[in-house]
Chain A
Amino acid sequence: MKGLTTLRGLGRSELNELIESALVYAGRAEKGETSGDQLSGRAVAMMFFEPSTRTRLSFELAVNRLGGALMTCEPDTASTKKGESLRDTTLTVTAMGADILVVRHSEAGAPDAIHEWTGVPVVNAGDGAHEHPTQALLDAVTLHRRFGSLQGLRMGIVGDIRQSRVAGSLFHAMPALGVDSVLIGPEFLLPEREPDGFEMSTDLDSHLGDLDVLYLLRVQRERGTLIPDDYIDRFRVDPERAAAMKPEAVVMHPGPINRDVEITGDVADGPRSLILSQVANGVPTRMALLAALRDGIT
């Protein structure tokens, strides 16, 4: 069992199964019910070789809620700092008895390589600019809870798409779930070629009135992207742009947000914003995934 390193190749029914399961976990949590012990006797290792707050905490809470044992690997103190190879580190953790590895790494493909070496299921918690599958899944769960279905929704994805691993997973999930999407941003932040099933545009304002979902991506200053002078004029979502959208349209962002760069504070905290719902849905979504993987490894 491979785990989940990419959403490529997952069909609508497989995605819907995970979404349905996440909705069940979310419902139980809201009613204050416990979630069972699907991970009892199992160990899940958190191997984060890049910083993370929400993804990591949300995976940890998901493991705890399912009764699993949590192994954490601190990259700053890990033996990789002492020159141990990534392969040796992951083999070591697996030898201790980790049943599932949750991996974040700065390199595309690292989770697949780790699965290849260790043979245990690996969940990709973000690999370079490649994919972040659980983010796209929790986004789908969030949209499902808001709209009842994703079929026929029109989504605009705005910002640093070229370097975004979140976009990398949305590229696969959204077409599979029937969402019709357009990628929007300055040319140098758009992919060289549009992915299958996507349009591209450099003009946000011409799309605002058609969108059900405005999905903003952070400009990744930490990866060296310079914010051009006219970015804010052309792409920042402020109250005026929010007002130009359909009445029921929503604004999403995988976080962390750069307030006043891609979105103003009043929109991020305003009624259209699903940003905190996305964060909340991260936990049941990851529970659903871990439980599904557990069923695969018994």
Chain B
Amino acid sequence: MILIRGGDVFSDSGFEVKDVLVEGERIAAVGAVDVDGVIEVVDASGCLVGPGFVDMHTHLRDPGHTWKEDIASGCAAAAAGGFTAVVAMPNTDPPLDDAKIVKEVVRRGDETGLIEVAVAAAITHGRAGLIPSDVEDLYECGVRVFTDDGDSVADAAVLRSVMMRIAALPGAVVAQHAEDASMTVNGHIHEGSMSTRLGVGGLSAEAEVDVVKRDLDLVRETGARYHCQHVSATGTIELIRHAKAEGLFVTAEVTPHHLSFDETAVADLDTDFKMYPPLRSDDDRRTLREALKEGTIDVVATDHAPHAPEEKAVTFEEAPRGVIGLETAAAVVSEVVGDPRRMFEALSLKPALIAGLRDQGRPIAVGEPANIVVFDPRQEWTPETFVSRSSNSPYKGHRLTGRPLVTVHNGRIVYSLIGAT
């Protein structure tokens, strides 16, 4: 039994100072709790207590690229970031495109005992964009999110045929990494004043906007659910706002780094700021922050993309794209949205809903699964080292406010910064 004492506890009606008792894998009591027989007590005074965070966009790199991260190290990093579930992206080697390998990744995630690992399966065989995966079979073994993340599904006919099939599967969603690859050849940073000044090839915002525009037409036609991954451009936000107003089932995520930084962060060509989509203009960044607050952007997802130090110790153009984010995401969201309710929506409720994770993103109430985070919104800290196997974080050395102190998954403390008594 675990007693989480005196925290500001999240429920459907808001936050209230209460105790939370966890027994077995469930929440046994909420309120003023009698402490008899309790084994572990967590002092949560001054902290928010809510459903564990859910990351819709994690690269666990396993199988195939385990020098960057593996399932165990990725799950440990997630737990340290307050996450109780992640959706693993399929761009592994081999890619996650059939039921056998999906089951294997989920099983190995369970074995860590740290968090829940769900899989986003590839839309096409080998993520090659040509032959649709067996989406019905993948759905049968629990997959709800389908994406060729890292690449767009460029071929409209292929995407259309998959969307028609996915529209017939309740709760399944197509998640698109929107990037017209023909427009991003030789591009490394946002096309704008910084790319001019640095003489580095630019990535046009249109490369994202054009793909989303086309996809939304296919959504209208097929009725599939559509999730736009890591939006970065103002034009995309406008499209999503209209699509929602139209009543389409369209959702969107933004990464913490696109909320924190703009293109000027790449002035020194530090490879820890190289990612796709790139950091865009200050105007884009402001638009993203507003869109998150008002709900046009539903979810914050990390796009946690580990790369080993030696892979990033090359010149900017040669460096692989991507940065880690699991351990710093909650602090960034807390700072950006301010309102704790919106933070739990964006980091837990909405992603759990979109990804179809029934044991995640639940209110803190009796009988609910004990997937809980204790988050101190006031703690100041400066990330220098990471639980992740990689350390390619743009927040290295940056002062952050807000930190997950304890993560409880399936009724067990899987991460604690304070040490339970």
Question: Which residues on A are within 8 Å of B, measured CB to CB?
Answer: 85-87, 105, 107-110, 112-113, 117, 127-131, 162-163, 165, 168, 171, 191-193, 195
Known: A113-B269, A128-B200. A108 touches B191 (CB 8 A): no
Cα separation A129 to B195 with both chains bound (whole Å)? 10
Contacts of A86 in B (CB 8 A): 314-315
Which of A87, A105, A109 has the most C-beta atoms of chain B within 10 angstroms of its own C-beta?
Answer: A109
Contacts of A110 in B (CB 8 A): 315
Contact between A162 and B200 (Cβ–Cβ < 8 Å)? no
Contact with A along B232-258 (1 / 0, CB 8 A): 000000000000000000000000000
Contact between A108 and B313 (Cβ–Cβ < 8 Å)? no
7 shortest A-B CB distances, which residue pairs?
A: A129-B199, A109-B269, A130-B199, A191-B196, A107-B315, A109-B316, A108-B200
Contacts of B198 in A (CB 8 A): 108-109, 130, 168
| Interface residues in B45-68 (C-beta closer than 8 Å to A) | none
Whether, in the assembled complex, B187 has its beta carbon less than 8 Å from a beta carbon of chain A, the answer is: no
Contact with A along B191-203 (1 / 0, CB 8 A): 1110111111010
Contact between A113 and B191 (Cβ–Cβ < 8 Å)? no
Cα separation A25 to B271 with both chains bound (whole Å)? 39
Contacts of B192 in A (CB 8 A): 192-193
| Interface residues in B199-231 (C-beta closer than 8 Å to A) | 199-200, 202
In the complex, number of A-B residue pairs with CB atoms less than 8 Å apart: 62
Contacts of A192 in B (CB 8 A): 191-193, 195-196, 202
Contact between A105 and B196 (Cβ–Cβ < 8 Å)? no
Contacts of A108 in B (CB 8 A): 198-200, 269, 316-317
Whether, in the assembled complex, B140 has its beta carbon less than 8 Å from a beta carbon of chain A, the answer is: no
Known: A112-B268, A112-B269. A107 touches B318 (CB 8 A): yes
Question: Which residue of chain A is the closest to B194 with respect to CB atoms?
Answer: A193
Contact between B313 and A87 (Cβ–Cβ < 8 Å)? yes
Question: Which residue of chain B is the closest to A113 with respect to CB atoms?
Answer: B315
Contact between A162 and B196 (Cβ–Cβ < 8 Å)? yes
Cα separation A208 to B60 with both chains bound (whole Å)? 60
Known: A107-B316, A108-B316, A112-B268. A165 touches B199 (CB 8 A): yes
Cα separation A87 to B271 with both chains bound (whole Å)? 14
Contacts of A129 in B (CB 8 A): 199-200
B200 touches which one: A117, A130, A191, A193 (CB < 8 A)? Answer: A130
Question: Which residues on B are within 8 Å of A, measured CB to CB?
Answer: 191-193, 195-200, 202, 268-269, 271, 313-318
How far apart are B53's CB and chain A's nearest CB, in angstroms? 34
Contacts of B191 in A (CB 8 A): 192
Contact between B196 and A193 (Cβ–Cβ < 8 Å)? yes
How far apart are A31's CB and chain B's nearest CB, in angstroms? 39
Additional A-B contact list (14), CB under 8 Å, known A109-B200, A168-B199: A107-B318, A108-B199, A108-B316, A108-B317, A109-B315, A112-B268, A113-B271, A113-B315, A128-B199, A128-B317, A129-B200, A168-B197, A192-B196, A195-B197
Cα separation A112 to B197 with both chains bound (whole Å)? 15
Known: A109-B269, A112-B269, A128-B200. A193 touches B315 (CB 8 A): no
Contact between A107 and B196 (Cβ–Cβ < 8 Å)? no
13 chain-A/chain-B pairs, Cβ below 8 angstroms? A86-B314, A107-B315, A108-B200, A108-B316, A108-B317, A109-B200, A109-B268, A109-B269, A109-B315, A109-B316, A110-B315, A113-B316, A168-B199
Contacts of A130 in B (CB 8 A): 198-200
Contact between B313 and A117 (Cβ–Cβ < 8 Å)? yes
How far apart are A94's CB and chain B's nearest CB, in angstroms? 15
Contacts of A128 in B (CB 8 A): 199-200, 317
Cα separation A30 to B334 with both chains bound (whole Å)? 66
Contact between A87 and B314 (Cβ–Cβ < 8 Å)? yes
Contacts of A105 in B (CB 8 A): 315
How far apart are B189's CB and chain A's nearest CB, in angstroms? 10
How far apart are A106's CB and chain B's nearest CB, in angstroms? 9
Contacts of B315 in A (CB 8 A): 86, 105, 107, 109-110, 113
Contacts of A87 in B (CB 8 A): 313-314
Cα separation A195 to B200 with both chains bound (whole Å)? 15
Contact between A195 and B199 (Cβ–Cβ < 8 Å)? no
Contacts of A107 in B (CB 8 A): 315-318
How far apart are A11's CB and chain B's nearest CB, in angstroms? 18
Contacts of B314 in A (CB 8 A): 85-87, 113
A131 touches which one: B199, B271, B316 (CB < 8 A)? Answer: B199
Cα separation A168 to B196 with both chains bound (whole Å)? 8
Question: Which residue of chain B is the closest to A168 with respect to CB atoms?
Answer: B199
Contact between A171 and B269 (Cβ–Cβ < 8 Å)? no
Which of B198, B315, B317 has the most C-beta atoms of chain A within 10 angstroms of its own C-beta?
Answer: B315
How far apart are A152's CB and chain B's nearest CB, in angstroms? 25
Contacts of B200 in A (CB 8 A): 108-109, 128-130
How far apart are B193's CB and chain A's nearest CB, in angstroms? 5
Contacts of B317 in A (CB 8 A): 107-109, 128
Contact between B197 and A171 (Cβ–Cβ < 8 Å)? yes
Contacts of A191 in B (CB 8 A): 196
Contacts of B316 in A (CB 8 A): 107-109, 113
How far apart are A245's CB and chain B's nearest CB, in angstroms? 28
Cα separation A248 to B196 with both chains bound (whole Å)? 32
How far apart are B221's CB and chain A's nearest CB, in angstroms? 35
Contacts of A165 in B (CB 8 A): 199
Cα separation A129 to B269 with both chains bound (whole Å)? 14
Question: Which residue of chain A is the closest to B271 with respect to CB atoms?
Answer: A113
Cα separation A219 to B157 with both chains bound (whole Å)? 42
How far apart are B186's CB and chain A's nearest CB, in angstroms? 10
Cα separation A105 to B268 with both chains bound (whole Å)? 16
Cα separation A109 to B193 with both chains bound (whole Å)? 16
